Amino acid sequence: MTTSVSALAISVMTVSSAQAAVITTDFSDLVQQVTPGVARVNVTKTVSEAELAKAQTADLLRKFFGDRVRIPEQAVIPAIEHAYGTAFFVTSNGYMLTNHHVVEGADNITVTLNDRTELDATLIGSDERSDVAVLKVSGRQFPALPIGDSNLIKVGEPVLAIGSPFGFDYSASAGIVSAKSRSFSRETSVPFIQTDVALNPGNSGGPLFNQRGEVIGINSRIFSGTGGYMGLSFSIPIDAAIDIYEQLKSNGEVARA
């Protein structure tokens, strides 16, 4: 009995120490420092009522009958769809990074800054395979964020994300690096950074920071069976993203072997 109590006491002490280590990671000053360099991306795109209805019908039918169901064509009636995501400044003269899937098919793109200023954004280039897109807004002296080295990250180190989940602008969430060099399919060669940072729709395209306030990744996707956060989030390493950025900025496209 005595042995059991002692073992339990040791176990409780170990857990308490681990919890204390997590609690002492205070990102409050860092959030204030980097938030001005982050922006909400607002996208409008023209779709048809038929496409919207078809997508909703398809989701419902597939839920019951699987992916082999065929959806009939419908009349085309133009409609406007609004979407949103996150972007961040990489240069003081207005170049920004976000995700390809945030701006894909956009007819109009604007960004909303931390002071609620809204600016028109031009799509410089977008790459589907890496899910990286480059935007440009007019102006100078924007608060460009410092770029870190994603090759130096370690599994277990604390990280911070800032974005607009479900439209709630400038929401911060923190966690740790869970794994490195995660891959999903042959369609992409991006060695994703896996974290347990809470990401949801609207976080896409936002920055992932290390404890020094350097961007080490672009938040890109989650692994979920419900569409919401379930503990597995994935970010594009900033080293890979900057390579894509340079090519899109210079050539408007990405060259691969």
Q: What's the pLDDT tens digit per position in 46-97?
A: 766 655 565 555 555 445 444 444 545 444 445 677 888 999 999 999 999 9
Give yes or no: 82 in active site: no
Catalytic option among 204, 220, 233, 235: 204
Q: Is residue 14 part of a domain?
A: no
C-alpha to C-alpha distance for 119 and 141, rounded to whole angstroms? 14
Q: Which domain holds residue 68?
A: 37-136
Comparison of pLDDT for 15 and 216, the residue scoring more: 216
Are residue 115 and residue 208 in the same domain, yes or no? no
Judge whether 77 lies within some domain.
yes
Report the chain's mean pLDDT, rounded to a whole number.
81
Q: Is residue 236 part of a domain?
A: yes
Q: Are residues 97 and 159 in the same domain?
A: no
What's the mean pLDDT in 144-161?
95
Please indicate whether residue 100 is annotated as part of the active site.
Answer: no
Specify whether 187 is located in the same domain as 243. Answer: yes
- What pLDDT, on the 0 to 100 scale, is given for residue 219? 96
Active-site annotation holder among 101, 224, 239, 243: 101
In a domain, 24, yes or no: no
Q: Identity (one letter) of the amino acid at 29?
A: D
Are residues 153 and 239 part of one domain?
Answer: yes
Domain shared by 247 and 150, yes or no: yes
Regarding whether 206 and 123 lie in a shared domain, the answer is no
Residue 204 known to be catalytic: yes
pLDDT-derived band at 227 (thresholds 50, 70, 90) equals: low
Per the structure, the count of domains in the chain is 2
pTM of the model: 0.77
- Minimum mean pLDDT among 128-137, 172-181, 182-191, 233-242: which range? 182-191
The three-class DSSP label of residue 15 is helix
Q: Which residue among 136, 168, 198 closes a domain?
A: 136
**Nearest alpha carbon to residue 198 among 159, 225, 226:** 159
What beta strand segments (E) does the chain contain?
A: 38-48, 78-89, 95-98, 108-112, 118-120, 122-127, 132-136, 158-163, 171-182, 192-195, 207-209, 215-222, 233-237
Give the CATH number, domain containing residue 52.
2.40.10.10
Question: Of the residues 127, 131, 150, 178, which is catalytic?
Answer: 131
**pLDDT in the model for residue 181:** 82
